[in-house]
Each structure stands twice: as structure tokens, then as C-alpha cells.
Chains A and B, each alone.
Chain A
């Protein structure tokens, strides 16, 4: 312990020495200084805004990439994982090639490859000559395709959106109540509870009714380009950097998730499924009540770990110029802001996120373990 303290003291002494010698500030005041540079794909960002606002935008971008990446990775991973166990030789083989190919290539290389091979040097036109894909029988585009930016439809808030979300929250509360009610009833009477059906159904009904009653709080905003063709004035624009980062990470992570899925399915003993068959359960019931609950328990912790890895890996977007929090922090360090404090803020952001997730994961593990005994 004493050794650790001494070492810490020595390191701290060196730090203070070096910082005073090079006259680098030791406080966090730089966070309120103007940022000074414009942020990619963020026309609204005024470079005079303070650096903490820049950090927030970075965090937002990190999660934008992380969330979409997680969704894509889950879908692809599930499909590929099941495909690996297919009775069709070609399907199983292709799934294996996909898994082994992506799993054993550095994610950084995959990201750079997507950025160059798919977007930069790919077949798509430059943005001013972008492909506008029209909706059938309409003037609006549903997709704007180019090598530097891709426009997709988005929802734009029209009216009463606050009220709408309030109603949805009420719906969630009601759905939770119904869930509890169905569970209790199931315990009391032994009737099938169907609580997912009941709760989700209620939520969907509430949301639909609220949507219609408020006269459509959201409307589609179709992607369209400005007159000079250089800017997307409606819809949602994603940059090539964002797409290559998200796609590359999604596929890379999917290859890991596919292995998790496969291993989890294989981990359920064959006897379980046979026994379920002997009880005359249908194939769906067999999956729903016997295989899936057991497989899921095995699959969830490693999958969450993969999700965490994916979110942490979004920091690699810095090589393709995606404005995530790491990239922006690095730029601001390059513009004469103090490195130690900037990196402390950066690590804090990731740390808070990771710790919250691992806390949730620990709670989940504990509940699962309790059920086991």
C-alpha cells in the first residue's frame, strides 16, 4: 500500500512539475472556452459555443452510432448464428465464412475498408449528383444516395408531440399494471397469462389512439436536397463516415454475436428438446418454453459484453472522421486545449456508461442465478 501511495505521490509531483514548466493550465476552465472549429454534419453548431457543448454533441454522436450498430449487429448476428446451424450446407458454409472473415480482421481495418472501398471509391455518385430515389407516384424521395452522404426519411414533429409522449408514458404505466395483473392471475388460477400479448397490445392501442386523436403529432420528412444540390434540407442525413463506422462495427460485432447465438443454442442439451417433443409440445412451443429460455440465459451476458465493446469501438470512428466524442476531444486537444483534463473528461464519459451497463448486467446475472437454484 505504502509503495502504491509513494508511487502515486511521485507521479503527481512529476505531473505538477511538468505542467508548471510547460505552463499548461491544470484546471477545467477550458470547458467553457469557445470550441473554435465547426463540427462535421452539424450545420447548426456555432464554433463560439463552449467546449462542453462540443463534448455533448460528441456523446450524442457516439450513441447514435452505438445504438444503430447494436440493433444491426443483433439482427445480423441472430440470422447468421442460426444460419450456421442450418441443414443447408451452402447456407451454413457461407455463414461460417462470414463469421471467420469478420471475426479475425481488425475492426479498424474493416472500418477503413468500408470507408474507402464502399463509399469513397465505391460506385455511388458524388453528393451534388446524388441519386434521388422517388416514391412511386410522388415527387418526394425516399432515399438520396451518394458517396459522401445518404438521406433517409425522418419524422418531423408537427403538433402536440409533448402531449403525445405523455400519453405514451401513461400507456407504459398501464401496460405494466396489466402485466402485474396477468401474472398474479396466472399464479392464482393457473390460466395462461399471455402477459406480453396483453401489455404490448394495450400499449400499441394507447399509442395509436393518441396518435390519431392528436391529429398526427409526427409527420414524415422526406429527404430533399437544396437548390445547389450540396445540402440535405429535409429528412435525415447520414455521412459516409457514420455509415462506414456503423456498418463495419455492426458486421464485426455480428460475427461475434453469431458465435454466441450458435453456442447458446448448442448448449441446450438435445434431451431437453426431445423431452419437450415427448410432451407433445409444438415446435414453436418447444422453442418458446424450453430452448429459448435456457439458451437466452447463457447468451445474454456475452451479448451485452459485445454491445459494450461495440459502443467502445465507436471511438475508432476517429480514423474516418466521424465526429464522435473521442474524435472531437482529440481535435480540441490539437487546438491547444490541455490534454490531461480533456482525456479525463473523455474517459469519464465512457466510464459512466460502462459502469451503468455492467451494474445492470450484474443485477441481471444475480436474478438469473437465483432462479437457477
Chain B
């Protein structure tokens, strides 16, 4: 496990943590394990229990465990029935995603470096070693996966993808500020292109593309000075035009691809959680703002939506989506199971996000709103310029928490027979040779895959919380 981390009430001070000299082992043990009689007894009892547990665990992992079902079906668990001849799409997407993440990471590092320079404080760059220390569960998961495949190709793939990410980060850091701005867009384009290669013109790639184009247009027209009254309208028209062009282009394009209907395995868990949280964000924002609306109809609609969704378990909503959402839509062109499930998860998450955002809105001091009104801002502007930016900053950690929950809850899709990883695991035991072999082992593998990702994310969100200073108000 980790080394003794900083205790939570005393946040670590990053690099400068090497203050007191290390005590000897015996002194440390006396101080922390045997400092009084009561603690000594506890230590001995728990230590004995721990030793037994570790021995049993290790025996299971390395000796008695039958890992053959996992090993044989590793691809099945990870990507299910994804057409094997289209696998190259995943490979390309992972590369593009790594490049994108590398650029983003590098950009963040570079801008905080610049800020530190401007403020005249020393800046220590996050080192790769720190990354490994912080992300060790993910690396263990990767090691387990690679160890089980026992071929060199996946190893080369993972190594090169990681190398690409690191290289992209380096490049971004080395860029001058002007170049960096272009590279920010580059990161977006990489992510978009990755999504595009994988899902083709299906999925919601066009939405992504339009958002990116809209952002670019807004950015480019920023310095165009016209009559201030017409400017917003003109730019809105420009954005709408650009988006229309994107949609028109997408309507014409067709370069294959595998839409999310054909995704399964762990891939489906990841995409269902990610797609739902992204789509749920506007829903949650609208509901949260609607809840504070002056119009009773809007307010009651929002409250009704939020309370009903939060009042029932996700599984009943998924049943609803699975069993009778279809009845509300025309039968000619039914939505696929995956789409319906993601729609339900979006609605579900939207209600929780609405409450999170509401919390953020309440955290904005009234004085801010009053001051904004005093200088003559209109209501939408008060909301969009003063309230939301502050509210959203405060809720980022809660958002991450919600995403983790959603990720864990994506296992519920197995109950409505979507072939996500838990369902695939069940199918593995429909194979003749594994009918009753390795039932606990496959489950342990699935649990570990979830744990590694969720644990890393939750730790990162705690870090983020500390950095944003949300908890220190």
C-alpha cells in the first residue's frame, strides 16, 4: 500500500515535505503502534488478523486462483462483441486521446508555471515519478492486463501510447504562449478526431464538432469591434451559421465507424458514464436554474423532475427505459438499448447535478448578485457572468464524485441485459469449459478494474479540491 500519507487535517505541502529526520523503525513503532497498553493490544490483534488475511489473499491470487477464464476472455471483457476487424479504430482513438490529454496536461503545467513566474514564486513541475505514485492503481491494472495477454503487441501499444502522451506534454510546455493557444485547440481536435474515428458519423460526434467550431468562432470574433448592441446578435448568427455548416458536412460524410450500439464490455461502462455526465450537464444546469426561477410553472417542473428522479433507485429508472420508454416513441425506428440506457442515465445524473449546482449557487454570496445588479447587469448576465462561474468552480469536486458514482453505477446496465463488463463476465460462464470454473476470480478481476479507476479518480478529485481551496472556506 501507500506509504504513510499526510494526515488529512494537515494538507501536504507538495515538494517540501522532507522536514524532520526519519526516526528509527523501533522509535517509530513505539510512537505509532505501541504508545499505550490499549494501542499495543489493538496492534497485536489486528496485526495477526492482517497476516492471516494477507496469506489467504496471496494464496488465492497466486496459487489457488483459476485465472484461465479471465486470461482467455480478456478481449471479451474489455470490448465485448466489438467487431474485431474494426479494432484499429480503438487503437487510433487511444493514440489521439493520449495526445490530447498530454497537450492538456502540458498546457495546464505551462500556464501554472507562467503564473508562478509572474507572481515570483518558485515553481516545481509535477514529475512523472509523482504521476506514477499518484496513479499506481491504474498502472497495476495495466500491468495485470498486459501480464495476462503474454504477447508483445499490447505492450508495445500501451508503451507507445503513454510515450506519445508524455511527448505531447513536453511539446506543449516548450511552446511559447501564442503557440500554446493553438495547441489548446489541437487538444480538442485530437479528442474529436479520436471520437470520430471510432464512432464514425454515428454517435454524437457532430455535436462535439459543432461545439468546437462554435468555440473557435467565438474566440476568433472576440476582437471585432462593432456597434456593441448588435455584436452579440451578429456573433450568434455567425456561430449558428458555422454550426449549420458542420451539420451539413456531417450529413454528407460517411466513413464507417462503430456507433455505441455496438460497444460492449468495459468500453461500454466507460462510455456510458462519460456520455451521461457530459449530456447531463446542461440538463442539470437548466434544472438548477429552473428551480430558482420566478415562474411557478418552471419552478415546479424543475422541482418535480429533480425530486422524482432522486427519489427512485436508478435501477427502476433503467427498467423504465428498458421496458417502457419504447412505448412512448414510435415503433418504426426504435432507439437502441444503449441509447435508451444512456438517455436514462443522463436524466438520472441531471437531477443530481441540478442539486450539486444548486449547492454551488447557494454558496455564491448574495452581495455578489446585488453588486452586479447595482452596476446594471441584466438578469441573464448576472447569472452567466457572476453567479455561474463562481458556483461551478465550487462544484467541480462534487462533479467528479458524481462521475465516479455514475461509473460504478454503470454496472447496473447488466441488469437490463446490456453487455457491459459484468454481463460479459456472466456470459463467460456460459462457455462450456468455464461453466463453473473461476467464478470468484472473474468477479475479483472486474472489481479490481473498477476499483483501480474509481480510487484514482477520487484521490485526484480530493487533490483538486485542495488546490481549488473549496473546502477551506
Contacts and interface: CB of A to CB of B under 8 A. Distances in A.
A–B proximity contact (CB within 8 A): yes
B1 A97 contact: yes
Interface stretch (B19-27, B243-251, B304-312): B304-312
Interface string B433-447: 000000110011011
A236 B262 CA distance: 48
B411 A109 contact: yes
Nearest to B43: A90
Interface stretch (A14-22, A124-132, A160-168, A285-293): A14-22
Contact of B328 (A14, A94, A97, A353): A14
Contact of A90 (B33, B301, B412): B33
A103 B461 CA distance: 14
Interface in B215-251: none
Given A104-B458, A105-B451, A319-B415, A343 B323 contact: yes
A100 B410 CA distance: 19
A15 B331 CA distance: 10
A313 B320 contact: no
Contacts of A116: 439-440, 443
B316 A315 contact: yes
Nearest to B53: A94
Nearest to B455: A104
Contacts of B136: none
Contacts of A330: 319
B38 to A, nearest CB: 9
Chain B interface category by residue count: 35 or more
B327 A14 contact: yes
B408 interface: yes
Nearest to A309: B313
Contacts of A87: 32, 35, 39
B46 A91 contact: yes
B81 to A, nearest CB: 21
A316 interface: yes
B4 to A, nearest CB: 7
A108 interface: yes
B428 interface: no
B23 to A, nearest CB: 12
A318 interface: yes
A28 to B, nearest CB: 14
Interface stretch (A138-146, A275-283, A344-352): A344-352
A344 to B, nearest CB: 9
A108 B412 contact: yes
B450 interface: yes
A137 interface: no
Contacts of A17: 330
A88 B315 contact: no
B104 interface: no
A354 B310 CA distance: 8
B324 interface: yes
Nearest to B9: A266
Interface in B181-220: none
Nearest to A338: B324
A365 interface: no
A98 B415 CA distance: 27
Interface string B1-45: 100100011000000000000000000000011010001001100
Nearest to A333: B323
Nearest to B39: A88
Interface string B322-337: 0110111111000000
A355 B331 contact: no
A198 interface: no
Interface of B: 1, 4, 8-9, 32-33, 35, 39, 42-43, 46-47, 50, 297-298, 301, 307-308, 310-317, 319-320, 323-324, 326-331, 404, 408-412, 414-415, 422, 439-440, 443-444, 446-447, 450-451, 454-455, 458
Give 7 nearest A-B pairs by CB, closest first: A354-B311, A89-B32, A104-B454, A312-B313, A106-B408, A339-B323, A315-B313
Given A104-B454, A107-B408, A333-B323, 20 more contacts: A11-B329, A14-B329, A14-B330, A87-B39, A89-B4, A90-B46, A91-B39, A91-B43, A105-B408, A105-B447, A106-B408, A108-B414, A109-B450, A117-B440, A121-B440, A312-B312, A316-B412, A326-B313, A347-B317, A351-B308
12 contacts: A89-B32, A90-B33, A104-B451, A108-B411, A109-B422, A109-B443, A318-B315, A319-B414, A339-B319, A343-B324, A346-B319, A354-B312
